[in-house]
Amino acid sequence: MNKSEVKIYNRILATKPQNWLDDSFKPVFEDYCSWVHRQNIICELIRKTCEKGLPKDADKFKRFEKLVNLSVEISGLISRLATTLRITPQARYTAKSAATAHAKNSTKPPWLS
């Protein structure tokens, strides 16, 4: 795992109970962190492509379109891995546990930082 993936790994792990990550799920969790890292790169490329609006040049627009489609695919994969790892809100069983987790993780969204 590279530094960015390790950062994602540690950030998520810090929000979980100490015994949350079973050894059998460690490879899946590492894969999840790797795909989140890749998605961040794709999103940055999309942002750079659209800094001045949608590309008007046909080749640049085709690249933009490919990046968006790739981002959608990766998002789906990340979602499935997150569900498998039970780190999605749907994986929380009770309203009380969801509220506790939300209070514990009340950080600003990335677009507000």
When pLDDT is averaged across residues 8-16 and rounded to a whole number, the result is 92
Say how far apart CA 75 and CA 9 lie, in whole Å: 17
- What's the confidence (pLDDT) of residue 57? 87
Interval 57-98: pLDDT, tens? 899 899 999 999 999 999 999 999 998 888 876 655 566 666
Residue spans of beta strands (DSSP E) within 33-98: none
pTM of the complete model beyond 0.95: no
Cβ contact 43:71 at 8 Å: yes
- What's the confidence (pLDDT) of residue 6? 96
Residues 6+ apart with CB under 8 A from 51: none
